Structure 1
Amino acid sequence: MIRTTDKRSHVRRATAVLAAGAAAVLLAACGSDGDGTGDHSGHGNGSGASASPSAPASKSAQNAADVTFAQGMIPHHRQAIEMADLAPTRAESPAVKKLAADIKNAQDPEIKTLSGWLTSWGEEVPAPGAMDHSTHGGDGDTGGMMTTEEMDGLKNAKGKAFDTAFMELMIKHHEGAVAMARTEQAQGAFTDARTMAQAIITSQSAEIAQMNKLLGKS
């Protein structure tokens, strides 16, 4: 009886071990299938994730010309917006009023972008009200920036006199911006800054042509 019991006990233990082993295999298989499914989707996400870090890496680093462009264009744009803000209450021509609005709508977002670049580069953002002409070049080159006297004259003008003064001064202002943008394209390294420079050349050249036409100069 003892031997029979021992045999049965051994059989039961062996059966339990086999059952436990089979369960472990099944669990491992299920876990593998679940992980495999996760891995497939993970690979999809992984390839997408690996693509995004490569995007910033594809952008070239900034150089001194990019910094000069950003630091010079910010006060330049600010002055253009200051001029444009005078038009709603002083201009007579609807075309001049619309032109002023277009200038403000285009240049205000660019100021924010330029400021963001400088901050990310660890460079100084020109303070509001700063009109540093040194960034535009030497030999008295102000990049088309208005003098205090010119701005005061524009503020005091109204009607057709304002329209004429606004367009004549803005043409000079735009020509300075286009020259700065061309310098950035020739010497800059930062891709986005060069792209903005091209946009400035295109849009402001078109506005110069429009203002010359309104002035009867073309």
Structure 2
Amino acid sequence: MFSSRRRILIAVVAAVAALGASAFAVVQLTGDDGPDGPAAAPHVVQPGAPGQAGRALSPSEQSQLPPPPAHNAADTQFMQRMIGHHAQALEMTALVADRAESRDVSLLAKRIETSQRDEIAQMQRWLTERGEQLPGPHEHHAAHDAVMPGMLTPEQMSQLAAARGAQFDRLFVDFMIRHHEGALTMVQQLYGAGGGLEPASDRFAREVNADQGIEIRSLRELQGRLAS
């Protein structure tokens, strides 16, 4: 009976996080993993100088690589608060279907809804895997701008819900720009508090920063069109 074969991808995040410019690349191998033989040992390659080939590390050298940094309180707080921040964005997009006049507003709101719903699931999974507490579904209602920058007040949410047509479109875009800018501030606060050392939290924060930055540019373009 033939042995099974599987592809092995070793992500050496510790070397990237701890060694900076001396980061290690990853080599993907295929090896036996079954009764006929053990899986092939993964190779970790240290890149050479520009124009020079990299060098494969020996098993003993690989064993000396530092472990990935653990998450800390700043990471946990960032994830917990960002879940609430995203939850309010979903409350805002839920108002669009029967209030918006602009098709562009509806399309952009759908994009925001999809991306932030996916990110909430990622953050919940991150917290659960680390044994950290998930925030309650309505905790963000008690938040204020000092805790979660960019959050709309209850009065602003009521103002948005009461608007219709072109007025709603302009208000939605204005408020969502502010909301997204608040998320970028929260990313800055994460690193300022010493978070983002764990590779997974760092990667997620960078993705949030990039995605919301792109959406802010789209929102500003739409803001200009709605004002004309």
Query: What is the TM-score when the length of structure 1 is the normalising length?
Result: 0.69
Identity of aligned residues (%): 37
Q: What CA distance in whole angstroms lies between the structure 2 residues aligned with 1:39 and 1:193?
A: 34
State the SS of the aligned residue for 1:215.
helix
How many residues get paired? 170
1:143 is aligned to 149
How much does 1:114 deviate?
Answer: 0.8
2:207 is aligned to 199
Match of 1:164 among 154, 159, 170: 170
Instruction: Give the letter aligned to residue 163 of structure 1.
Output: D
Higher helix share: 1
Deviations 1:41-93 (A, max 9, x none): 322x2647xxxxx9xx9543101110111011000000001101111211111
Q: 1:39 to 1:121 in 2, by over 3 A?
A: closer
Match of 1:41 among 36, 49, 67: 36
- Asked if 2 retains the 8 angstrom alpha-carbon contact of 1:76 and 1:145, the reply is yes
1:190 aligned to 2:198? Answer: yes
1:6 is aligned to none
Task: Please list every run of 5 or more consecutive structure 2 residues that lacks an aligned counterpart in the other structure.
Answer: 1-32, 43-62
Tell me which structure has the larger Cα radius of gyration.
1
State the SS of the aligned residue for 1:192.
helix
The within-5 A match list for 1:56-205 is: 59-131=68-140, 133=143, 140=146, 142-186=148-192, 187-188=194-195, 189-205=197-213
Q: What CA distance in whole angstroms lies between the structure 2 residues aligned with 1:151 and 1:39?
A: 58
Deviations 1:166-210 (A, max 9, x none): 011111100110111223345322211211111111111121122
2:220 is aligned to 212
Instruction: Give the letter aligned to residue 133 of structure 1.
Output: A
Task: Please list every run of 5 or more consecutive structure 1 residues that lacks an aligned counterpart in the other structure.
Answer: 1-37, 49-53
State the SS of the aligned residue for 2:97.
helix
Instruction: Give the letter aligned to residue 122 of structure 1.
Output: G
Higher strand share: 2
- Asked if 1 retains the 8 angstrom alpha-carbon contact of 2:102 and 2:166, the reply is yes
